[in-house]
Amino acid sequence: MRKLLASVLGIALAAAGTFAGEITVGFAQLGAESMWRTANTDSVKGEAARRGINLVFSDAQQKQENQIKAVRSFIAQGVDVIGLPPVVESGWEPVLREAQEAGIPVILTDRRVDTSDESLYTAFLGSNFITEGENAGNWLVRELMGRYGVVKGEVFELVGTVGAAPAIDRKKGFEAVIAKHPNLNIVKSQSGDFTRAKGKEVMEAFIKSPEWDKAATKIIYGHNDDMVLGAIQAIEEAGINPGKECIIIGVDAIADAFEAIAQGKMHCTVECNPLLGPQLFDMVEAVVAGKEVPKTVYSIEGTYDYYCAEALLPWRRTLY
């Protein structure tokens, strides 16, 4: 009787769809370098738990070789789907081919890989980093016009991790916009690896450079808010007023950036959405069920500045 009940229940559950806990996803997180990343990890872990999906999670500490090892171990474990936010763009083809040969779909999240063979991954879910760079550039051009009636200034750029898609594309998008304005130029550009500590270090070096002394309109463009917040510390420690003597733009729209803007220490943050968990597991469930998924899904994102930061801060604190 018990066996009969179990098999009837089994058939009913199978008809209703996938068993809770039946799907196993390997997620090779790239690190924990920023508040954005922490929010991204929480979103992935939280959503997997809500859906009863087995999540095998690893943290590569910003090292590609660790991520590759994690993907290989997911292949060996025979997970159903692999989620991969690649730390850098290049060097992924061999391991993606191994996953393909093992019949395990790979969903790229957050960052893209540089490959001409799009069959190596099932889908990409994340931001358009070129658009984010353009958003930062367009905001700056409008701000300069509004303040001075002329687009003129010297940009000190805090670059993200070398070789990472957001570092490459946020630079590309920003440069495409400012290229139309001959008196607006990047005068210093250095990687702060997307961390607050390195952002501060790089800014300390910028302040000591001759370019800083020469700059009439000092603009700081950071590829993420964490580096910018580190830079603001360096600026304040040097006795400079960040809100009054500089124009400061970041990317991510973390709550701490809204707070810095509300305090008058920063001017603008371009949104990059880390809350990808729900969309990722919608895709995972569709892929496991044998359904088609779109090849590319971009997040819809805004740009926030001192007009709205204070009013929006309580709401943003509930997000990330």
- Binding residues for ligand AHR (CB under 6 A): 33-34, 36-37, 110-111, 166, 194, 224, 226, 251-252, 272
Based on CB atoms, which residue is closest to ligand AHR, 48 or 159?
A: 159
Q: State the nearest-atom distance from the C-beta of 43 to ligand AHR, in Å.
A: 13
Based on CB atoms, which residue is closest to ligand AHR, 201 or 252?
A: 252
Q: State the nearest-atom distance from the C-beta of 226 to ligand AHR, in Å.
A: 6
Distance from C-alpha of 109 to C-alpha of 41, rounded to nearest angstrom: 11
Distance from C-alpha of 111 to C-alpha of 92, rounded to nearest angstrom: 12
Based on CB atoms, which residue is closest to ligand AHR, 192 or 242?
A: 192
Based on CB atoms, which residue is closest to ligand AHR, 30 or 70?
A: 30
Distance from C-alpha of 103 to C-alpha of 232, rounded to nearest angstrom: 48
Q: State the nearest-atom distance from the C-beta of 229 to ligand AHR, in Å.
A: 11
Q: State the nearest-atom distance from the C-beta of 224 to ligand AHR, in Å.
A: 4
Based on CB atoms, which residue is closest to ligand AHR, 29 or 122?
A: 29
Which string of DSSP letters, residue by residue, matches 27-80? Answer: EEE----SHHHHHHHHHHHHHHHHHT-EEEEEE-TT-HHHHHHHHHHHHHHT-S
Q: State the nearest-atom distance from the C-beta of 193 to ligand AHR, in Å.
A: 9
Based on CB atoms, which residue is closest to ligand AHR, 82 or 272?
A: 272
Q: If we measure between CA atoms, which residue out of 134, 184, 133 comes closest to residue 159?
A: 133
Q: State the nearest-atom distance from the C-beta of 58 to ligand AHR, in Å.
A: 17
Q: State the nearest-atom distance from the C-beta of 268 to ligand AHR, in Å.
A: 15
Q: Rounded to the nearest 5°, which phi and psi values hold at 267?
A: -115, -30
Based on CB atoms, which residue is closest to ligand AHR, 111 or 316?
A: 111
Q: State the nearest-atom distance from the C-beta of 170 to ligand AHR, in Å.
A: 8
Based on CB atoms, which residue is closest to ligand AHR, 187 or 202?
A: 202
